[in-house]
Amino acid sequence: MADLWQGYIWPGIIIVAQILAIVLPLLGAVAYLTLMERKVIGAMQMRRGPNVVGPFGLFQPLADGLKLLLKETIIPTGASRAVFILAPMITFILALIAWAVIPVNAGWVLSDLNVGILYLFAISSLGVYGIIMAGWASNSRYAFLGAMRSAAQMVSYEVAMGLIMISVLLTVGSLNLTKIVEAQANSVWFIIPHLPMAVMFFISTLAETNRHPFDLPEAEAELVSGYNVEYSAMTFGLFFLGEYANMILMSGMTTILFLGGWLPPVDIAPFNWIPGPLWFLIKVVLLLYIFIWARAAFPRYRYDQLMRLGWKVFLPGSLLWLVLTAGVLKATGWTPWN
């Protein structure tokens, strides 16, 4: 009995507590990211944004969530029911489980996988299924067109993202996310040697999360709302939460790969007083701000331009940079392995 407690139940309780410690703040962050988006865009367009519900509109996300929860879930008659309901769940769950390998401080990670970055890449490449299943199961032309666009878009930009990740991995010599950050503590943040790649990676994450200016899957002017047009109430809510959780995840990924994770910019007095998780948070919020800024500033891309950018600019560019990185590391003897 004591063995059972020591071996299974107690570790199980700890793991569940750790999962809750990741998921609950994440859901709070998603809720307030929607408010931040509306406030920031409001400020950029010289409006106030939501300011009625609670002080400064702080309760607006709760009101929105409650509204979505209380509405009626409608499933279209022609829909493929199981797939229709499964699609938003997959989107949301994938956005959550990726956080299992994200280190927010030295050792603050649920699972310190040796292939952490590959896990992240795998999970983010699965995100397309939620959208493509939603588009197909809705049995609606708009939704299907949105899903088709999204599938092509996400597959295209993943290629460039993978190559950019390999450049970073070459300079680190490990796929472990904690080791990637530690390598930046010993040298410089990778945004300095890999600046063009950092920019390209960020733009690719915009395309990967279907955000502006690459939000063609839900282009409301042409496709009404794209893949989620038939969804209502909480099924729509899960798509929405998934999209925003993915934004935070992608910002976290960019932070770890290029902005030194939980590290302060310079390791001197006023900066290293601030604890690591706070630095991580600051960097993620900064990147999220750029996400929102891009939405306010840029018009939507045309579809052929999007494909051209992905395949004819980012893919050769990142491939070239990969060869260059490998060459420089080999020629200068800076290889992290021997």
Partner 1 sequence: MIIQGLAFYLFSVIAVFSAVMVITARNPVHSVLWLILTFFNAAGLFVLMGAEFLGMLLVVVYVGAVAVLFLFVVMMLDINTLNLREGMAEYMPVGVAIGVVLFAEIAAITGGWVLAPEIEAARAQPLADPGAVSNIQALGNIIYTDYIYLFQASGLVLLVAMIGSIMLTHRTRPGVHKQNIAAQLDRGRTVELKKVSTRGGI
**Residue 170 touching partner 1 (CB under 8 A):** no
Kindly tell me which of 48 and 67 has the beta carbon lying closer to partner 1: 48
Residues 307-336 that bind partner 1 (CB under 8 A): 308
**Residue 84 and residue 243 in contact, taking contact as beta carbons nearer than 8 Å:** no
CB of 142 to partner 1, least distance (A): 15
Kindly tell me which of 38 and 149 has the beta carbon lying closer to partner 1: 149
Cα(103)–Cα(261) distance, integer angstroms:
8
Interface with partner 1 (CB under 8 A), residue from 33, 128, 263, 306: 128
**Residue 99 touching partner 1 (CB under 8 A):** no
Phi, psi of 41 (to 5 degrees): -65, -35
**Residue 161 touching partner 1 (CB under 8 A):** no
Cα(311)–Cα(207) distance, integer angstroms:
13
**Residue 122 touching partner 1 (CB under 8 A):** yes
* Token reading at 318: 């990142």
Binding mask 57-96 for partner 1 (x = CB under 8 A): -----------------------x--x-------------
Interface with partner 1 (CB under 8 A), residue from 27, 63, 68, 148: 148
213 upstream amide cis, omega within 30 of 0: yes
Kindly tell me which of 6 and 114 has the beta carbon lying closer to partner 1: 114
Question: How many residues does this entry show for the chain?
Answer: 338
- For residue 128, give the nearest of 98, 155, 156 by alpha carbon: 155
**Residue 46 touching partner 1 (CB under 8 A):** yes
Contacts 24+ apart (CB under 8 A), 325-328: 325/167, 325/170, 325/171, 325/194, 326/170
- For residue 217, give the nearest of 144, 281, 110, 164 by alpha carbon: 144
Indicate the angle between helix axes 233-258 and 60-70, nearest 10 degrees: 140
Interface with partner 1 (CB under 8 A), residue from 89, 151, 166, 326: 151
Stretch that binds partner 1, among 124-132, 235-243, 285-293, 317-325 (CB under 8 A): 124-132
Cα(175)–Cα(181) distance, integer angstroms:
11
CB of 73 to partner 1, least distance (A): 22
Phi, psi of 75 (to 5 degrees): -110, 120
Kindly tell me which of 68 and 317 has the beta carbon lying closer to partner 1: 317
Residues 237-296 that bind partner 1 (CB under 8 A): none
Which sign, positive or negative, has the C-alpha torsion 252, 255, 256, 258?
Answer: positive
Kindly tell me which of 68 and 118 has the beta carbon lying closer to partner 1: 118
**Residue 143 touching partner 1 (CB under 8 A):** no
Cα(180)–Cα(254) distance, integer angstroms:
12
CB of 274 to partner 1, least distance (A): 32
Kindly tell me which of 39 and 149 has the beta carbon lying closer to partner 1: 149
Interface with partner 1 (CB under 8 A), residue from 99, 119, 189, 262: 119
CB of 115 to partner 1, least distance (A): 5
Stretch that binds partner 1, among 148-156, 228-236, 245-253, 283-291 (CB under 8 A): 148-156
Cα(191)–Cα(256) distance, integer angstroms:
10
Indicate the angle between helix axes 10-44 and 276-297, nearest 10 degrees: 40
* Token reading at 262: 């939980």
Interface with partner 1 (CB under 8 A), residue from 22, 145, 175, 322: 175
> Contact positions toward partner 1, by CB under 8 A?
8, 46, 80, 83, 113-115, 118-119, 121-122, 125-126, 128-129, 132-133, 136, 144, 148, 151-152, 155, 158, 162, 174-175, 304, 308
